[in-house]
Amino acid sequence: MQLLIDFGNTRIKWATEDTGVLQFGAGAVYSEALLEELFEHWWGECSTPDSIWCASVAPLACQQRLEHWCRQQWQQPVRFLTAVACQQGVTNAYTEPATLGSDRWAALLGARHLVTGSVAVIDCGSAITVDLLDADGVHQGGYIVPGLWMMQQCLQERTGRITESPALPGQLTPGDSSVSCISHGALRSVTALLDRLMRDLPVGHRQLQWLITGGDAPHIQPYLEQACRAVPDLVLQGLVCVAQNND
């Protein structure tokens, strides 16, 4: 049994893989102070995994606490995924391959496994990333923009008179308060960008298939003009590919 962990900036989720079957475990927004409590709740009674794989963009201190907990609990190291020049049929576009986020790399590996042909991955996390992969598995680069919460927080941190917490956006209509104006504006900004990309890119990327993942995907996908396939566990599926081949 393999334990697979997607450790983001604000959320962590995990799954297990056994004899080719991916079984989603759980996911949660985490706080650094309560990580060990969360690990104990999730895995305190789990049998020892054969290996532990993690795609992480979490702070180094959080990664170290995960590593320490797993060694204490199971005497097992955590294998943190790092992007490389070529893996599982995917060629990295970055001139310094390791600087591509491991979550984006895992998502590309998962997309390559799921889709035949050109594919684009939209990952809606703390930041929103878009990555393009051609039919031969060659990464064509991508885009990074602030996510819904990050966009709102940046505005509110620079606007001292707005003291309310960022709101979860749910509409594109004009807001009727400063908070709703910011939240609706963030959603409209993100969807406008993605809609424009989805209109423009297929011209040079024929039969491009769009996948969407990440914690904020359910809040964004309903407002996109073009259909895209929701794959909530895409990063974990990419980790499965790595774990099964022990790359």
What's the pLDDT at 190? 94
Does residue 242 have a pLDDT over 90?
Answer: yes
The domain 117-233 having CATH identifier 3.90.78.10: the answer here is no
Q: How does pLDDT run across 82-132, given as a tens digit for each residue?
A: 999 999 999 999 999 999 999 999 999 999 999 989 999 999 998 999 999
Decide which of 3.30.420.40, 2.40.50.180, 3.40.50.1820, 3.40.50.300 is the CATH code for 2-80.
3.30.420.40
Residues 6 or more apart in contact with residue 57 via CB below 8 angstroms: 7, 8, 9, 101, 102, 103
State how far the alpha carbon of 100 is from the alpha carbons of 26, 38, 97, 177, in Å. Answer: 26, 28, 6, 38
User: Among positive and negative, which fits the CA dihedral 213, 215, 218, 223?
Assistant: negative
What is the share, in percent, of the chain residues with pLDDT greater than 90?
73
Q: How does pLDDT run across 164-215, given as a tens digit for each residue?
A: 555 566 678 887 787 888 888 889 999 999 999 998 886 555 678 999 999 9
pTM, two decimals, is 0.91
Residues identified as active-site = 103
Q: How does pLDDT run across 135-152, given as a tens digit for each residue?
A: 999 999 999 999 988 888
- What are the structure tokens assigned to 68, written together? 């320490």
Residue ranges of the domains in the chain?
Answer: 2-80, 117-233
What's the pLDDT at 165? 54
Domain 2-80 shares a fold with domain 117-233: yes
